[in-house]
């Protein structure tokens, strides 16, 4: 199986963070197969397709995927917009949360790649950003999330820094479970991850500050057959 990765050269601001320890859980495959029960019929067909298996080494399934608005108080109130009320379930009274959490697509089977490059295991969704990338080298975990806009220079890690059209954001993990810590080409591995990106800024005129302060967080499971360096380039 050969997977070609022909991406344009992108100049990025690069940061990375090592967070939670990698935990080996030999039966973590159960979490993956539990998640598959929530997939749609089309997703299940994709997951079991022989044609798909020839193109990709595995699949990732998000069980939770949230986008947080961290500067909700700066949101401009425009005439004619529907007011959204937030009710505290404990008190039954209206509350004003510091942030808004938008639920994104979950329980979709997404093609996933596990590639062994020298002594580093690379885990990612193949293709163009935005994408979430993890690297494991000598039991050391590194996670990043890449945002990219072809036309607009709108991203920043800090509101005082220059804006860029391509930004790599540090990722923190609450846990990173994997079926083994000994990797070799041809081996099938499973995992479960809970992550949060560092907050970052995106230009948005709906806010008094002129930008949206946001972060992504979620959980996902994966199954992938490790491919060799020559099969992923």
Confidence of residue 3 (pLDDT cuts 50, 70, 90): very low
Does the pLDDT at position 19 exceed 60? no
Domain boundaries of the chain, sorted by first residue: 22-75+95-231
According to the model, what pLDDT value does residue 2 have?
40
Decide if 220 contacts 192 (C-beta within 8 A).
yes
CATH assignment of 22-75+95-231? 2.40.128
d(CA 220, CA 217): 10
d(CA 169, CA 15): 6
If one compares 96 and 108, the residue with the highest pLDDT of the two is: 108
Confidence of residue 96 (pLDDT cuts 50, 70, 90): low
Does the pLDDT at position 6 exceed 80? no
Global pTM? 0.80
If one compares 99 and 212, the residue with the highest pLDDT of the two is: 212
């Amino acid at each position: 199986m050969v997977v070609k990765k022909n991406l344009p050269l992108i100049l990025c601001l690069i940061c990375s963070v090592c967070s939670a320890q990698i935990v080996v859980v030999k039966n973590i495959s159960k979490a993956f197969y539990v998640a598959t029960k929530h997939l749609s019929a089309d997703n299940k067909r994709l997951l079991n397709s022989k044609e798909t298996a020839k193109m990709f080494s595995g699949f990732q399934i998000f069980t939770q995927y949230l986008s947080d608005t961290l500067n909700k108080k700066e949101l401009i109130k425009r005439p004619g917009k529907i007011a959204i009320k937030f009710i505290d379930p404990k008190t039954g009274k209206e509350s004003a949360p510091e942030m808004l959490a938008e639920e994104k697509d979950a329980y979709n089977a997404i093609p996933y790649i596990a590639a062994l490059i020298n002594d580093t295991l690379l885990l990612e969704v193949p293709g163009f950003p935005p994408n979430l990338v993890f690297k494991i080298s000598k039991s050391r975990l590194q996670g990043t999330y890449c945002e990219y806009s072809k036309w607009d220079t709108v991203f920043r890690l800090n509101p005082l820094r220059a804006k860029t059209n391509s930004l790599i954001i540090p990722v923190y993990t609450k846990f990173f479970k994997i079926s083994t810590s000994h990797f070799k080409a041809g081996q099938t591995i499973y995992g479960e991850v809970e992550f949060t990106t560092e907050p970052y800024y995106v230009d948005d005129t709906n806010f008094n500050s002129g930008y949206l302060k946001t972060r992504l967080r979620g959980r996902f499971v994966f199954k992938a057959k490790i491919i060799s360096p020559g099969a992923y380039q």
